[in-house]
Amino acid sequence: DTEVTQTPKHLVMGMTNKKSLKCEQHMGHRAMYWYKQKAKKPPELMFVYSYEKLSINESVPSRFSPECPNSSLLNLHLHALQPEDSALYLCASSLYFRGQNNEKLFFGSGTQLSVL
């Protein structure tokens, strides 16, 4: 199994809603990532978890709250989002995160989020 599975594929939410994005991998990877990608822009790193501990938070607003319940699962909890947060949210995993971040990343298909 070389897949990173993300659910849901599409999400529409209002600015007062609370929702969660989910990501799962069964490759035994110990590092998991959240990226945000806006149209015609490159993916931008949001968070990195290594061995279920948060290693990097790229100054992401607190309305995005990551959670890594175990080595296979990664969640992104969303609350009070703004319309400018509408984007494709990509989850990725790699065997390890060594601080150099040079490990090959496996990406999920993403969740296309629209905030109304």
Interface contacts to another protein, rule CB under 8 A: 4, 6, 40-45, 48, 56, 58, 90, 92, 99-102, 104-110
Q: 46 or 68: whose CB is closer to another protein?
A: 46
Q: 40 or 53: whose CB is closer to another protein?
A: 40
Q: 42 or 83: whose CB is closer to another protein?
A: 42
CB of 78 to another protein, least distance (A): 19
Q: DSSP E strands: which ranges in 3-94?
A: 4-7, 10-13, 18-25, 31-37, 44-50, 53-57, 64-70, 73-79, 87-94
User: Distance (Å, rounded) from C-alpha 103 to C-alpha 111?
Assistant: 23
CB of 2 to another protein, least distance (A): 10
Using alpha carbons only, give the angle 101, 97, 71 rounded to the nearest 5 degrees: 140
Q: 10 or 16: whose CB is closer to another protein?
A: 10
CB of 83 to another protein, least distance (A): 22
- Residue 12, CB-side half-sphere exposure with 13 Å CA sphere: 1
